């Protein structure tokens, strides 16, 4: 019941300040491509189980299906672009982190995104077509910056490769009732080794990563008028609705019904709270 790719969906642009915290701060994957452009301040991101820092004039591209969480700093300014997967074939296939040092290149992307926000706000004739064309230009900009050497190489060690595999497995299987020991066995390692590696690579336990992915999907669905709470619990692999309610309350301070009725969930819960068991 998570969002599926839709090439006919509209391109959308938003400033960082207008985005609800949990939608980005909790680990999740999306059905569309995401481009984050940070123009001021700093932030932290977890991409496929690997934590990195972001600074001014950093661009982060996340293809559809990439597990990530993004937490901008309090003084951060920037823009987020979402482009449906399949809308254009110009976007890269893998996550990219660019540190853009040339002022002209910085201004070029900022100008594109500002123009897209103006277009979106005016709601003129053929707006979706215009936004789609402008998103293709942003994809071209991204490719050109990679060719110019702005790409910051992602680490590649046995630990990082394991985390990428675990992140992919979470994205594919978080709706099941599988626990960390099941994921570890499928990856050919022990649960202890997987947890130790997760702590080293992203500062979270493997259990906390699984919990966050479930929590994000739960909150996404609770923001909608349906399905019913018990259906959400079942779809996310919880054995009972009361257990699902305890899980939600332990992480947000609210019950599922309170969230659906307009309550605002709390910020990201400490990873020591709310463990998941089979």
Q: Tell me, yes or no, whether 277 lies in a domain.
A: no
> Could you tell me if 148 and 104 are in contact, meaning their C-beta atoms sit under 8 angstroms apart?
no
Q: Tell me, yes or no, whether 167 lies in a domain.
A: yes
Rounded CA separation 276/106 (Å):
43
Q: Tell me, yes or no, whether 182 lies in a domain.
A: yes
> Could you tell me if 180 and 207 are in contact, meaning their C-beta atoms sit under 8 angstroms apart?
yes
> Could you tell me if 194 and 166 are in contact, meaning their C-beta atoms sit under 8 angstroms apart?
yes
Residue 22's CATH number: 2.60.120.280
Number of helices (H) and strands (E) in the chain: give both, helices first. 10, 8
Radius of gyration of the chain (CA): 19
Q: Tell me, yes or no, whether 28 lies in a domain.
A: yes
User: Mind listing the pLDDT tens digit for each residue in 156-205?
Assistant: 899 999 999 999 999 999 999 999 999 999 999 999 999 999 999 999 99
Rounded CA separation 133/29 (Å):
24
**Residues 208 and 143 grouped into a single domain:** no
> Could you tell me if 231 and 5 are in contact, meaning their C-beta atoms sit under 8 angstroms apart?
no
Q: Tell me, yes or no, whether 140 lies in a domain.
A: yes
The dihedral of CA 24, 212, 73, 93: what is its sign? negative
The structural domain count of the chain equals 2
Domain end position, chosen among 87, 116, 147: 147
Domain end position, chosen among 85, 114, 147: 147
SS3 letters across 15-67: EHHHCCHHHHHCCECCCEEEEEEEEECCEEEEECCEEEEECCCEEEEECCCCC
DSSP H or E segment with residue 195: helix 191-202
For the segment 119-136, the average pLDDT, to the nearest whole number, is: 94
Please tell me the pTM assigned to this model.
0.90
**Residues 127 and 229 grouped into a single domain:** no
Structure tokens at 21: 């915290």
Domain end position, chosen among 124, 147, 170: 147
Rounded CA separation 168/160 (Å):
12
Structure tokens at 253: 């301070």
**Residues 135 and 186 grouped into a single domain:** no
**Residues 87 and 197 grouped into a single domain:** no
For residue 172, the enclosing domain spans 161-260
Residue 240's CATH number: 1.10.10.60
pLDDT for the residue 8 = 56
**Hey, which residues does 13 pair with through a beta bridge?**
81
Burial class (CB in 10 A: 0-12, 13-18, 19+), 18: exposed
**Residues 77 and 119 grouped into a single domain:** yes
**Residues 56 and 105 grouped into a single domain:** yes
Q: Tell me, yes or no, whether 153 lies in a domain.
A: no
Rounded CA separation 214/176 (Å):
10
pLDDT for the residue 80 = 97
**Residues 52 and 97 grouped into a single domain:** yes
User: Mind listing the pLDDT tens digit for each residue in 79-115?
Assistant: 999 999 987 789 999 999 999 999 999 999 999 999 9
**Residues 56 and 173 grouped into a single domain:** no
Q: How far is the CA of 170 from the CAs of 106, 136, 186, in angstroms? A: 34, 30, 12
- With cut-offs at 50, 70 and 90, classify the pLDDT of residue 262: confident
Q: Tell me, yes or no, whether 237 lies in a domain.
A: yes
pLDDT for the residue 270 = 40
**Coil vs helix vs strand at 225:** coil
- With cut-offs at 50, 70 and 90, classify the pLDDT of residue 269: very low
Q: Tell me, yes or no, whether 269 lies in a domain.
A: no
């Amino acid at each position: 019941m998570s969002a599926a790719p839709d090439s006919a969906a509209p391109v959308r642009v938003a400033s960082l300040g207008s985005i609800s915290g949990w939608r980005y701060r909790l680990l999740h994957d999306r059905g569309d491509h995401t481009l984050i452009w940070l123009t001021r301040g700093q932030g932290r991101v977890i991409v496929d189980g690997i934590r990195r820092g972001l600074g001014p004039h950093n661009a982060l591209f996340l293809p559809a299906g990439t597990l990530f969480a993004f937490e901008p700093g309090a003084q951060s300014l920037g823009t987020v672009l979402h482009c449906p997967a399949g809308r254009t074939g110009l976007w890269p296939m893998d996550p990219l982190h660019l540190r853009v040092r040339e002022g002209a290149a910085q201004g070029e992307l900022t100008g594109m995104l500002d123009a897209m926000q103006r277009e979106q706000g005016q709601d003129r004739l053929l707006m979706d077509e215009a936004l789609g064309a402008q998103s293709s230009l942003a994809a071209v900009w991204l490719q050109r910056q990679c060719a110019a050497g702005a790409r910051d190489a992602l680490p590649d060690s046995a630990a990082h490769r394991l985390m990428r595999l675990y992140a992919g497995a979470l994205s594919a299987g978080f709706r099941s009732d599988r626990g960390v020991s099941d994921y570890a066995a499928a990856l050919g390692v022990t649960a202890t080794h997987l947890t130790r590696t997760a702590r080293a690579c992203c500062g979270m336990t493997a259990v906390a990563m699984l919990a966050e992915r479930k929590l994000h999907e739960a909150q996404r669905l609770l923001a909608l008028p349906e399905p019913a709470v018990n259906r959400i619990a079942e779809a996310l692999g919880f054995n009972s609705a009361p257990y699902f309610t305890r899980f939600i309350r332990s992480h947000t301070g609210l019950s599922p019904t309170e969230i659906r009725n307009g309550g605002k969930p709390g910020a990201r819960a400490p990873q020591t709270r709310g463990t998941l068991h089979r």
